[in-house]
Amino acid sequence: MSLTIASYNIHKAVGADGRRVPQRILDVLDEIGADVALLQEADTRFGVRTSVLPAELLHAHGWQVAPLGTNAQALGWHGNAVLVRRGAALTHSATITLPALEPRGAVLADVAHGNHTLRLVGAHLDLSGFWRARQTRAMVAAVARAPANPPELVMGDFNEWRAGGPALAELARQWREIRLPASFPARLPLGRLDRAFAHAALNVADAGVHATALARAASDHLPIWVRIDGD
């Protein structure tokens, strides 16, 4: 098994030029060669949430969408979406409700590839450190309650600038952090807001931040990616 998972805050497909261009987001995922994508800010924020990635474009790039949307027009749960393609097969997905003052959430998806199943958790946490700590505790508890017990890979925009923040400490008690460079802002990355945490049983073959010219233009975050290898 070799599976490449990307996590990407797509900023509602609005790039550095202020234009909403969904095609750029999907082209960036193609550059990465992602088999699975955990997206943040994949829907409009207010009113009836609507996907910013048109269904015909997703189909053209080979993506299947996990059924997480709150309505027929939405792609995800509070903007968190899961896409799979190629040899990856979605076997289970669920939303995770997080305590928050503003709309926040996380999602869970089990993906089968070859003889292996991987549990993916995608999240976009609060700007407030107090709420981030509560949200990570709720997320860890929800993952522990989920059926079955495949190894987990947790990725997303955790909105934490400090290395020793309580939210990150909570995650590090459960999973090992995969060290990644800064990913925000995309034009001149200074903050490690986008992070990844892996179960000890997972063979993380490689990981990085995708920093091409297209990625710097497509969103205000650069995507991160992790490649998992197995037998």
> How confident is the model at residue 164, as a pLDDT?
78
Neighbouring residues of 140: CB distance < 8 A, sequence distance ≥ 6: 170, 171, 174
Q: Domain map of the chain by residue range?
A: 2-229
| CATH for 2-229 (3.60.10.10, 3.30.420.10, 3.10.150.10, 3.30.70.1520) | 3.60.10.10
CA distance 148 to 110: 10
> How confident is the model at residue 87, as a pLDDT?
85
**Angstrom distances, CA of residue 145 to CA of 94, 141, 151, 199, 209:** 12, 6, 14, 16, 31
CA distance 17 to 28: 16
Handedness of CA 34, 72, 122, 25 (dihedral sign): positive
What are 110's strand-pairing partners? 92, 119
> How confident is the model at residue 1, as a pLDDT?
67
Per run of 10 residues, the mean pLDDT along the chain (length 231 residues) is 94 97 98 98 85 96 94 92 94 94 90 93 93 94 94 97 87 95 97 97 97 98 95 61
| Residue with tokens 């990625």, as numbered in its chain | 215
Q: Which of 114, 185, 123, 127 is nearest to 152 (CA)?
A: 123
DSSP tag of 20: B
Query: Which string of DSSP letters, residue by residue, matches 150-164?
Result: --EEEEEE----STT
**Angstrom distances, CA of residue 127 to CA of 44, 131, 135:** 18, 8, 11
Structure tokens at 8: 């990407």
> How confident is the model at residue 199, as a pLDDT?
97
